Structure 1
Amino acid sequence: MVLREWARDAHATVQAVRAAVRHVADDPSSLGDDEWLALLGASGAELDELCALADDARRTITGDELTFVVNRNLDTSVVGSGRPDVPDVSDLVVEAWELGATEICLQGPLSVDAPTDGYLRLVDTIHAAAPQMHLHAFRPPEVRDAATRMGVSVTEFLRRAHAAGLGSVPGTAAQILDDDVRAHLAGGAAPPVAEWVSTIEAAHQVGMFSTATMLYGHVETPQHQLDHLRALCEMQRRTRGFSELILMPLLPENAPPHLREVATTPVSRRETRAVHAVARLLTLGTFDHIQVAWTKHDADTTEALLGGGADDIGGLLIDGDLMPDAGQEAGRVLGVDAIADLGARLGRNPRQRTTGYADPPAQRLTPIPQVRR
């Protein structure tokens, strides 16, 4: 694979970036690949100007709100294990509901020895415990695993799961929508792009929505990033089924062993700001919401991204008392005080939303502290 920064430097001359910034300010829809690639390499004053343009676009689309959802992450393999040391999933869901959550997010696959219909049983159990709770679960690999275990098509599993109470699916595992990059990330064979696309579109077709994601900061080039964003836009135009776009850097501690020499340091703040700003401007007309993956960034970078094109900060990831170590992002809880302070610094009004960006019922609203501006 081409080294990423070398590939970017070829496009990132100051003159090219300045010209691209002027052009994107006039008409983002008319930019060609070379100009978008130049913007991905922006730095210094040009990067600041690019981010300001992206934030203007954000303001036009979503106004001056800072949205968030109250949710709880659970590890699918843990809560579906039936182990005596793990609280019943119903109790975990009820506790989350009592703490104010409107969403349960399941992450990861079931174990190989789980029941054939284990995924569907989890949906039934969670929906029965809290019928008004939105269930956001099962990435494309888990959807396909569930369909294979049950001996049905992907579409049929999704239809049954949706009828049982599954509300939406995470669009993670997209990585970069390029078969060569995906194979390199996997250290060899990897599920092809076509599988991810067809699974997500099947979810949209049976009446569910999903998130859209991009994993950057590994072996991909700026051209791969650009092609990935364009592919997501094409899918959105076909199905209108994506609720938001989430851009996630590969953290060194999460890099597979064969990539440890590549992903030795976190992705630069410069690149992260440029990627988010370009994503906002390139997806105008297709994506309304750009979410900051706040668990992947330090607080200053999160704030910079929300001031550079992103409008949403995602979930609070509440824990509770029963099993606070459940989920891949255990211990990463965002409090409403922090949301209020962040909104004050950004000049934005915090607003609680549902998974689908609607207003929660009044009785489900989490009190937000009043702050001085």
Structure 2
Amino acid sequence: MPDKNKPSQEKPKRPFVLGIETSCDETAVAIVSADKHILAHSVLSQIEDHSEYGGVVPEIAARQHISSLDHLIKAVLADASMQISDIDAIAATTGPGLVGGLMVGVMTAKAIASATKKPFIAVNHLEGHALTARLVDNIAFPFLLLLVSGGHCQLLAVYGVGQYTRLGTTIDDAVGEAYDKTAKLLGLGYPGGPAVEQAALQGDAKRFQLPKPLLDKPGCDFSFSGLKTAVRRTAEACVDKEGLLTLQDRADLCAAFQETVAVCLANRLGHAIEKFRKKAGPGTLPFVVAGGVAANKVLRARLQAVAEEAGLTFHAPPLALCTDNGAMIAWAGLERLVASPDINDIDMAPRARWPLDNDAKPLVGKGKKGAKA
């Protein structure tokens, strides 16, 4: 986490919100103040626990949250030189995510809130990512958001806290999932995003021609399932008699895959900018990219070029705030607390599905619980 948010001389201003994040495979806790100071934070990664499986195992993730969360909360309070009585509200990721992990964070947060008579604030994990840029930069509403992570790939117009319009989403796989599956296929390990990005540095992106799903189609939706299949077939065609790929084959495939993703994201972003401007109006508007995949430097650079060419200012959280963390949950909770001082979501239960745009409908099928995200 960047330490530029640490206060220097000025005393941080109330309210103070404790944020808990347990939606996937990071156990994270942070305390954030109203004047955008991250007073303390801690993130416990579970990469080693899941690496041998090539992905997150929900049961293992939940057990690790149970064993770590109480200790992390105590450590963060100590780092901030605060008591729980100093905290004004407790926020926790309440969805979307793995239900087992969500239950751990939500029930812990509710227990603390009830015992201390503090409000409990249910935070949408996606809103945490969406508002992170406002924690580290002075970004006003409205702004255009590209949310890219292991489970989500969406373009959204953000008009205020809780006010989101989905412009486009993936019709199958998220871009982060495509990175993870590509890394697993090529034997690069887990997590896949950083592994593919690193391997691509030594690769030739022009050696392999991979399909660019939906590139010539109107709209802002994404598709990455076919791209994953193309990577698999290309890899199978390159293996030697022993069924192995050379290091150069892997690097070239990673470079081609990453370049294809960059082209697809840039194309869809261009369409979204046109839609966004029709409602938001002319002038300089912010574009924010958030989520774990936003840590990819190649993708960042491509998206920044598209946004700035269209007259939008480019914003992305520091790399340490792109992946799941407690500060983004604390800040989203604080934004909600300021907007609704009497807020208390003590009756809200964890939700595996929780779209930011409640009017959004699933692109495929008619799930009883609505769109996943």
TM-score by length of 2: 0.31
TM-score, normalised on structure 1?
A: 0.31
Structure (1/2) with the larger strand percentage = 2
